[in-house]
Homo-oligomer: A and B are copies of this chain.
Amino acid sequence: MEEIRDTKVSEGAPVSRRVRISDLADALGLTKSTVSRALNNYSDIAPETRRRVAEMAAKMGYAPMPYAQAVRTGRVRALGLVLEIDAPDRYGPFLAEFLGGITQEASLEGWTLTVASSSSREEMEATVTRLLQEHKVDGFILPRTRVADHRVDFLRAKHVPFVLYGRTGYGGPEHGLSWFDVDGGQAMRAAVLRLAGLGHRRIGFVGYAEEYNFALLRRDGYREGLAEAGLPLDPSLERLGVINRADGMRATEELLDLPDPPTAIVFSTDMTALGAYDAARARGITIGRDLSVIGYDGIPDGRMIDPPLTSFAVDSRQAGERLAALLIAQLRGAPAENLRELVEARLQPGGSDGPPVTT
């Protein structure tokens, strides 16, 4: 019983009839159960049949409806992302790139991204619970990892797959977490070595809130760089808890007011490094000559300012892409402990660092 069901005839029609799996089955002279198993790579389907089904599916433009599959399988091919709305620096300019990366990669694999937001821990848990209860997502991407992250505990307790943007303080591989990260520590180390190579001997460090794991990793990188360059570690040259541009200006002033001030400062974020420009202007000194500055993130503002900020650029789009890929792999059954990636930040030289002025 062939039924030539012609689809999408007149484009003027409101909606052309979708191709369903039963249409495919009819066209092939098979039952829909066989077609379903063929499409899902069951082993009890003859290779030749599998090929015919795949061919006809492509020809007829068949695409399964995710929610109809979900009724049985419980999986909807959707990634979840919970934004923390009241985070200190509000994600800055990275968010668009990051989202673009996730959605592009997800789209390639036929997945989608569902975004939610929360402004407190309770709300986050309620939101996640609802998304899971309604089966709106299959797994989560967690940005802005903290040293001790309650989200990790929460999702593990619920046995929900997830990937982290950034490592936690939970320790090594034994915890079976899946993550992607940019090696900020390595970048800080390279920044120190670069400055030391230029002749600087007193190099300061301005870091982020130590609640976030990356802040600690970057500080450690700074210390490693000092050690490697054979420079002493002076605690008075380290500042933590510096979040925004105004903080960065204050921290810079404090460092410059020291009895034996640094001639160069490494900032763990560009936003705070811009504060150094404000401080320099306020006291009439020149960035890149009187004070060398290196930042991290590669924000657009850093390239606009004069002199352009030397920085280690993070590719947020790449981060989004890889996180999506890692989560999808995990949802397809890959063991989480194999899904880890660490990439390096890219040095983006500007004019904010140079040899120290010799007095």
Residue A175 at the B interface, CB < 8 A? no
**Chain B residues whose C-beta falls within 8 Å of the C-beta of A7 in the assembled complex:** 333
Contact of A71 among B67, B100, B127, B246 (CB under 8 A): B67
Residue A95 at the B interface, CB < 8 A? yes
Contact A41 B90 (CB under 8 A): no
Given contact pairs A43-B4, A92-B93, A246-B304, A63 touches B134 in the complex (Cβ within 8 A): yes
- Nearest Cβ distance between residue A316 and chain B, in whole angstroms? 11
Contact A65 B100 (CB under 8 A): no
- Nearest Cβ distance between residue A153 and chain B, in whole angstroms? 14
Question: CB-defined interface of A124-165 with B at 8 Å, one 1/0 digit per residue?
Answer: 000100110111100000000000000000000111000000
**Chain B residues whose C-beta falls within 8 Å of the C-beta of A68 in the assembled complex:** 67, 70-71
Contact B93 A85 (CB under 8 A): no
Contact of A40 among B3, B93, B134 (CB under 8 A): B3
Contact B99 A115 (CB under 8 A): yes
Residue A235 at the B interface, CB < 8 A? no
Q: Oligomeric state, in number of copies?
A: 2
Closest partner residue, chain B, to A75 (CB atom): B6
Contact B90 A93 (CB under 8 A): yes
Residue A2 at the B interface, CB < 8 A? yes
Residue A114 at the B interface, CB < 8 A? yes
**Chain B residues whose C-beta falls within 8 Å of the C-beta of A66 in the assembled complex:** 67, 134-136
- Nearest Cβ distance between residue A253 and chain B, in whole angstroms? 15
Q: How far is the CA of A83 from the CA of B92 in the complex (A)?
A: 17
Residue A42 at the B interface, CB < 8 A? yes
Q: How far is the CA of A165 from the CA of B95 in the complex (A)?
A: 19
**Chain B residues whose C-beta falls within 8 Å of the C-beta of A1 in the assembled complex:** 43-44
Residue A341 at the B interface, CB < 8 A? no
Contact B131 A42 (CB under 8 A): no
Contact B78 A41 (CB under 8 A): no
Residue A338 at the B interface, CB < 8 A? no
Question: CB-defined interface of A1-38 with B at 8 Å, one 1/0 digit per residue?
Answer: 11111110100101100100000000000000000000
Seen from chain A, the residues whose Cβ lies within 8 Å of a Cβ on chain B are 1-7, 9, 12, 14-15, 18, 40-44, 63, 65-68, 70-71, 76, 78, 83, 85, 90-93, 95-97, 99-100, 103-104, 107, 112-117, 119, 127, 130-131, 133-136, 157-159, 244-246, 300-301, 304, 332-333
Nearest 7 pairs between A and B by C-beta?
A67-B67, A6-B333, A85-B100, A103-B117, A67-B70, A100-B117, A91-B96
